[in-house]
Structure 1
Amino acid sequence: MKRLRVVPAWRHGQERLYVRLDDGRNIAWYDREAARVNLLSQDHREGVLDALGPFLTGPVAVGPPPVPTPAELARLALHPDDDLAPNRPGEALLVALDRDPAPPHRLRPDPRRRALQAEQTVGGELDRLDGAGWHTLHSLPLPGGDRVHHLAIGPGGLLAIHSVHARRQRVLVADPMITLGRHEPSALLRRVRADADRASYALTAEVRPVLALVDPTGIRVLAAPPDVRILTAADIPGLARLGGVLKPADVETLHALARDRGTWGRA
């Protein structure tokens, strides 16, 4: 019998336990809420139940998934190395800091840590939208070394969100320039738009650009961008009220497409 692994994951705020082969393929999952073990292959029934034995809490139904959707099947077919859904907010920065930490004698704080704090703050707020029908993916890699900080997919459409650390700084917006405190202005809004455009190309769907500022002392707008939504991290829960763009089935389909690393190779 092939060795099976049990891997926990979260979906719509509920924990699921996936059973995988050594090559990373999912062959079953246990839905505690529904008290059901869903089998993709009856050939592995006994092995799956043995592997899940320590985790089962009472009687469960066992059988094939109840009318699996194309999005569900596409997700289950992903190899773990190609599934971007487990990425944490700031995943790329976490990896970079682990591989190349700043010298302990550095006089100034490593700017990567401020950027990481911003992505973690914004990402945490976005993840809380899950119960409102949204999915969020973090740190999506783009060819050339760029990345989309966060991609939110929900009833209000697709949003490519770029996080910026602005703690205790006044922010001046003069499209396409953004000025943080006493720093030199930068054409940050061009980057935000470019990320959304590349995401739109990869997903063949409209993705709207969003700039999320973390803890600014104030925002002054001289020339408002007509197409970029500018928010603070505290505004993000309000996205749950957006709707009328995507149906639940479309949200699931786009999420399945976006979580596949191969999707972003053509961006």
Structure 2
Amino acid sequence: MIRPARALSIAAVAAGLTMTTLFAASSANAAGVNYVALGDSYSSGVGAGSYLSDSGSCKRSTNAYAYLWKNAHAPSSFKFVACSGAKTGDILNSQISALDAGTTLVSISVGGNDAGFADTMQTCVLGSESDCVNAVNTAKNYATTALPGQLDKVYSAIKSKSPNAHVVVMGYPHIYKIGGSCIFGIGDTARAAINSAADTLDGVLAKRAANAGFAFGDVRNVFTEHEICGSLTTWLNSATLPVDESYHPKAAGQSGGYLPVFSAS
């Protein structure tokens, strides 16, 4: 018969061995990962601060979800080439070369700049409500007609360069909480139009990602109530200086929103 103290000791040793085994397995898995982070400002971390000195105008942040994942998992290799303002053409011309046959994990967000998101936001903030709705409709039309073919080219290039990689296409959050706590700024009609543009864009991204056999990281739900005007801590910058950081995730949006969705995708 095993005495209680002896049983506790054996259980503790067993638990320790189990944790050691799990840690070793996790480390081994991470050691085999070659991760490349592609994409635009939502992936580079614009708005999250703590920018890498060698990233220049690309504004790659140590608070970006890709960099946070790298810090947590210590992959065998990590290439962080996402860049502020990147469009699908920039991915093909400037970023795709970071991939190779040994790449095992890829993250990417792209499409918002192709659809003119920044210009649309500027129109909605500075123009009339009808100007905003018209700009959003133009962006949505582009997203549903021209963008799918451009995304297919990018995704095909990724598959060609890194056929064995797990690829996660990251989406875009809603910017505003409709009927939220904001008193000033644009009205709910314009806010709803902007959110509908995110829905349209995410729908296109999800469909093209699925067609390519890629995972889609939908961040809209996790950002709920963390949008501008939401009831919880806002994870997105409102209009701010520098201007290019406006309507981008703060550090909390990268760590609390993008990182867990990417990790689970």
Same fold (TM over 0.5): no
Name which structure has the greater RCO, CA cutoff 8 Å, separation 6+.
Answer: 2
State TM-score, norm by structure 1.
0.31
Q: Which has the higher helix share?
A: 2
Q: Which has the higher strand share?
A: 1
State TM-score, norm by structure 2.
0.31
